[in-house]
Amino acid sequence: MKYSIVIATYNRAADLRQTLESLSTLQPDGPWEVIVVDNNSPDDTRQVVEHASHTFPVQLHYMFEGLQGRSPALNTGIRAARGEIIATTDDDVRVPADWLNRAAEGLARLRCDYVGGRVLPIWGGPRPAWIPDHGGKQWAVIALLDYGPQPIEFGTRVPLGVNMAFLRSAFERAGGFDPHTGRRAGTLLGQEVREWCIRARKAGIRGCYIPELWLEHIIPADRLRKSYFRRWFYWRGISRALLYERAGLDMEAPEQTTLDFSEVPHIAGVPRYLYRKALSNVYGWVRAVLRRDPIAAFDHETWLWFFAGIVKQRWKDSRVRAVARPAPAE
């Protein structure tokens, strides 16, 4: 088996049906399979997969993972995968017919262990003016990515799990995705791919961005609202604070962690310098509002939502540590 495609899905049967139709048009240069891991979906996800399997051009497997979370679901699929190359994607994408071939070519040409590529939009509603039409900070919120026309090695930049392909040996050397990190139902937690990439890099595993590896990602209209972006940045702060608690990674730039945070002054579990940056963003937000620059104002505002998530989670973690700390001996 040359290729395995792993999809983790939760309660999106209608989107999954169309994604499977798109995947059925793939024309890889070797044997392949698709594994759909149902992460406790209350809808008819299983029926959708079983129905599609009757006419699917290759083996289409349905699996169930009861432990809630994208990471546990992906790990279940990866363990079952038989392919030499394991590709991960989501349940709401459209792929070109040569998607897998491009992944294999990039892995071989750049001699790397995993690759990630561009994620381009299929807009489910009118694109707001404050979301750029080509890359930029706001694209990450709606799982879009474009690092430009040239290949780069991942380091300070990371791929999106919706469009990645790995040599099987990458997981054998670095392990799977952290089951305690990443998206769970009812949250906008993330960072599972970033955490894996940092861990993989420490293990000597090399990843590259290849622009010719692309797919299209459907962006629902309800995600094109500022309320969704505010929630996403808030949960991003929570996710980064969790990484900080577990691994001591810089909450603003985990890939560039250089500080010994045990030596950094903290207030309520948050490095003191982040409070100064928060004040700077408040000032920047006020200035942008006064000069009627809504794009700059929203950039400052979203950083403050990110900071709010950090403060909330760090306060929670500090309270948990306080409760767990043994009482002094009498």
Nearest to 9 by CA among 22, 23, 19, 21: 19
User: Which H or E run contains 30?
Assistant: none
Nearest-Å Rg of the Cα atoms of the chain is 21
Query: pLDDT tens track of the chain, all 330 residues?
Result: 999 999 999 999 999 999 999 999 999 999 999 999 999 999 999 999 999 999 999 999 999 999 999 999 999 999 999 999 999 999 999 999 999 999 999 999 999 999 999 999 999 999 998 888 777 778 999 999 999 999 999 998 999 999 999 999 999 999 999 998 888 777 888 899 999 999 999 999 999 999 999 999 999 999 999 999 999 999 999 999 999 998 889 999 898 888 888 889 999 999 999 999 999 999 999 999 999 998 889 999 999 999 999 999 999 988 776 555 554 545
- Say which DSSP state 64 is in: E
Segment (H or E) for 19:
helix 13-23
pTM: 0.91
Give all domains of the chain, ordered by start, each with its CATH number: 3-223 (3.90.550.10), 226-323 (no CATH)
Half-sphere exposure of 149 (CA within 13 A, CB side): 0
